[in-house]
Structure 1
Amino acid sequence: MADRLSARAAIAAVTADFTESTAPREDTAADGPLDWTGYADSRARATARTGERESVVHGLATLGGHPCVLVSFEFGFLGGSLGQRTGDRLEAAYEEAVTRRLPLVSLIATGGSRMQEGMIALTQLHRVARASARLRAAGPAQLAVLRDPTTGGGWATLGAGADVILALPGAQIGFAGSRVRPPGADPLAYTAEGQLAAGQIDAIVPQEELAATLGHWLGALAHRDPAPVPAPVPAALSATGDAVPAPVPAALSATGLPRTGWDAVVRARSASRPRAEAYLDAYFGIRLPLHGDRCGGTDPGLLCGFGLREGRPVAYVAQCGTATRPAGYRTAARVIRLADRLGVPVLTLVDTPGAANDAEAERAGAGAAIADAFAAIAAARVPVTTLVIGEGGSGGALALAAPGNTHLTADSYFSVIAPELAAAILKRSPDQVRATADQLRLRPQDLVDLGVARSVVRPGPPGVGTGSARTGGDGSIA
């Protein structure tokens, strides 16, 4: 079980700059909307014990130099439960975030809806969901920190509905609280660690690292007002607000251009070739991962999140050389849409032999997930930059590539399908695979000549030294 800090101690643990907002006028009805005998006394005892008049505190704060609206739950006040007065305060916090165009950060510790208010308490979830949707439409981000416990409606609205979900180690998290779970339920499923494994939260952050992590996230997710994009700029290259394309990463290998199509395939499949992790480490000063598809799935072969490069936020989606699974495409689409809403440019690194096509992937909705990734990039108003760093295998790679702004390294290729499979489809013998690779014109320089890619990048500082691959066959980059 994680440590249970009071609402104000949780605030003090992440910032010394907090100004509490005035609470909405409170109904003084003795025993609440249901006239629940003893409810007023229970509230009075909760106030005497905690010093609070309700289960949430909210106000303006600065975290890591970035302003936000901050909400913190007091679990000691009737288990941090949501009642009508709680709904009043939460709605006021969201409205303040909308009015001031600030992100909202929630430090959640709640057991769910308040029994003593019955359906009136439950309908507060509608109010929270409506307020959250209004803030999302206005643009600013929503971040949730799941403390112990986060269950019931608080998890299903403020928690799971946030753009970025962090949790403290060991926190109890789940829609079902500990007293209402099915007998024999796996206890791990209701923990921060279990929810991370299931792709329902983005990261587990120790309390001592939480303040710095929230500051980094607020810096990366600061909303930029949308600006109209004049026609006829292609949608895939248009910009939202002050977003300019993410610089193209420099190549991390100094190899020359491949002489044959099969040479390109062999290089791209080499175990010694630099992979996504190395490219991201070289590109970003700080990386903030986003994890999971929010549907119970994860893909360890896809890295997603936001990063700070020279203080500038860039969202990233990076394939790691494995067949991308449906959960990976859904996670990628989630990140791209969040970046688009916030006006943050996107960098994608393509490296996959193709989409996963096993039976499990089909049952998990591979086609729909790939379509969703295509749609997210096609609809993006922010610029998307793509670098192919290894294998570009068919539609599974193309789904994460930017139309009109794709670049390649010299140790990569991009093809309608792998040459072995192309030969099989064309009923060619295995000894014709290499000739088929040449016919597919999948080399980096071929792709530039065909207009599929803009350049083959050279080694050097990120964003510097991209070069055309329109060369002869001597293996050099002009």
Structure 2
Amino acid sequence: MRELIESICTGFTEFDAAPWESDVDGPIGWPGYGEARRRAEERTGERESVVCGSGKIGDVEATLLVFEFGFLGGSVGRRTGDRIEAAFRRARELRTPVVSLIATGGSRMQEGMAALSQLQRIAREAALTRAAGLPQVSVLRDPTTGGGWATLGAGADVVLALRGAQVGFAGSRVRPPGDDAAYTAESQLAHGHVDRIVEDLPAELGRWLSLLTRPAHGAPEPPRHPHGTPLPETGWDAVRAARAPGRPHAEAYLDEYFDWRENISGDRCGGVDPGVLCGFGSRGGRTIAYAAQCGTPTSPAGFRTAARLIRLAGRLGIPVLTLVDTPGAANDGAAERAGAGPAIAETFAAIASASIPVTTLVIGEGGSGGALAFAAPGHTWVTADSYFSVTSPEAAAAILKRPPEEVPATADQLRLRPQDLVALGLAQGIV
């Protein structure tokens, strides 16, 4: 564990912690508990299953909570809770982000409910730190199970994991047999509960802390069009330009706009939408968050991930850029069962209640409410090869019982061209 600290951190200073009386058998008098602790101390050189302190990761001062799995399986007991609570309080005093390097099997059985109740203490301290506007990053080591996963791990703003780590609420000895693959970092990433599998932990932690602690000031300016394009003459021309295979998509805009960036992943409800890119990017040394549609129908997971990003950016004081490009919200049965309506409502609410500036650029298709949910009222710009419409021309024609050959004329009547949107006061300008 000490080697891990040295590999990611410089100038680490451990916080003071009261020692445990090793001849005491704990709060419920578990036979031999004091002796088990004494052996754990001899084996690891530590007095408890977590070490807390401060140091620099990259060029950002941070508070670290580092678990020693060799000490009673990294389990959480009463004194572990004491240390973690004190560390969170110290982080709020120092105004530093909190990084939790977790390796734990869960709560300590030898302390009974006195151990399990520490999860409530940890959750409260994490909530107070969140309310103070300080970022929390967790690193899931092998294993991260039980209450450590369900508090410090899954409750962090950004969740990173080491490849191959066992991650799950149920540990290997208590879960049903037959589905071990579900309890891995890779599975948690695939199902929206982990943001990234890290390969170079010191470098990636440094990048994340840099992004989360250096917010830009004021509203982001909209990105430039990577290539430039003429304005469409008709509504149908606008639709065709927005659907053209060769026009730039979200990644081209983000790569042009940011010096470098990091994505978050997943809605924390079991879903990932690869057609929505969310994360934080550095532009001129300051951080702007982004939520970008990539031209596909947006699923409930995509809306929830965007809402998660906007809420997180708001807590950290980071302005947000959104890019609109979708034919509309996914509307199949699977999307309805996954909560399309509530997820869209969540995104509308996140932007409507945002305490930080949100700037929107429509870069392609703006299909109905699924696109509008990503747009900031009064702060929306459009590109020349985009459109925004109450619904697609094809859907409008079908609703009005018009034949397919009238779809182009319907597009003209919808007044969905970029210049129409500016004239209607729905867009501030054409980039």
Is the TM value for this pair above 0.5? yes
User: Is 1:102 the counterpart of 2:93 in the alignment?
Assistant: no
| Deviation, structure 1 residue 203 | 0.1
Match of 2:206 in 1: 215
| Deviation, structure 1 residue 253 | 2.6
1:406-439 per-position Cα deviation (integer Å, ceiling 9, x unaligned): 1111110000000111111112121211111111
Which residue of 47, 51, 64 corresponds with 2:45? 51
Match of 2:402 in 1: 428
What one-letter code is carried by the residue in structure 2 that aligns with 1:204?
A: I
Q: Is 2:9–2:55's contact at 8 Å kept on the other side of the alignment?
A: yes
Point out where structure 2 has 5 or more consecutive residues left out of the alignment: none
1:33-72 per-position Cα deviation (integer Å, ceiling 9, x unaligned): 1111111111111100100000000111111111111110
In angstroms, what is the RMSD of aligned CA positions?
1.1
The separation in 1 between residues aligned to 2:402 and 2:185, in whole angstroms, is 52
Match of 1:307 in 2: 281
TM-score by length of structure 1 reads 0.89
| Deviation, structure 1 residue 211 | 1.1
What one-letter code is carried by the residue in structure 2 that aligns with 1:191?
A: T
User: Is 1:248 the counterpart of 2:248 in the alignment?
Assistant: no
1:113-142 per-position Cα deviation (integer Å, ceiling 9, x unaligned): 011111111001011011111111111011
Aligned-partner SS, 2:69: coil
After the TM superposition, which of the residue ranges 419-428 and 78-87 deviates more from structure 2? 419-428
| Deviation, structure 1 residue 149 | 0.5
Q: Is 1:276–1:349's contact at 8 Å kept on the other side of the alignment?
A: yes
Point out where structure 1 has 5 or more consecutive residues left out of the alignment: 1-5, 225-241, 458-478
| Deviation, structure 1 residue 340 | 0.6
Q: Is 1:223–1:343's contact at 8 Å kept on the other side of the alignment?
A: no
Aligned-partner SS, 2:152: helix
Aligned-partner SS, 1:13: helix
What one-letter code is carried by the residue in structure 2 that aligns with 1:193?
A: E
| Deviation, structure 1 residue 191 | 0.7
| Deviation, structure 1 residue 243 | 2.9
Match of 2:372 in 1: 398
Q: Is 2:214–2:287's contact at 8 Å kept on the other side of the alignment?
A: no
Q: Is 2:19–2:47's contact at 8 Å kept on the other side of the alignment?
A: no
* 1:32-111 matches, cutoff 5 A: 32-111=26-105
Aligned-partner SS, 1:361: helix
Q: Is 1:141–1:223's contact at 8 Å kept on the other side of the alignment?
A: no
Distance 1:126 1:29, change over 3 A: farther
Q: Is 2:23–2:35's contact at 8 Å kept on the other side of the alignment?
A: no
Match of 1:419 in 2: 393
| Deviation, structure 1 residue 26 | 4.1
Which residue of 128, 139, 150 corresponds with 1:134? 128
Q: Is 1:24–1:88's contact at 8 Å kept on the other side of the alignment?
A: no
TM-score by length of structure 2 reads 0.98
Q: Is 1:73–1:108's contact at 8 Å kept on the other side of the alignment?
A: yes
User: Is 1:158 the counterpart of 2:152 in the alignment?
Assistant: yes
Aligned-partner SS, 1:456: coil
Q: Which runs of 4+ in 1 moved over 2 A?
A: 24-29
| Deviation, structure 1 residue 25 | 5.6
The separation in 1 between residues aligned to 2:207 and 2:136, in whole angstroms, is 14
Aligned-partner SS, 1:17: strand
Match of 1:289 in 2: 263
The separation in 2 between residues aligned to 1:52 and 1:182, in whole angstroms, is 33
The separation in 2 between residues aligned to 1:275 and 1:409, in whole angstroms, is 11
What one-letter code is carried by the residue in structure 2 that aligns with 1:311?
A: G
Match of 1:182 in 2: 176
What one-letter code is carried by the residue in structure 2 that aligns with 1:199?
A: G
Match of 1:116 in 2: 110
Q: Is 2:22–2:35's contact at 8 Å kept on the other side of the alignment?
A: no
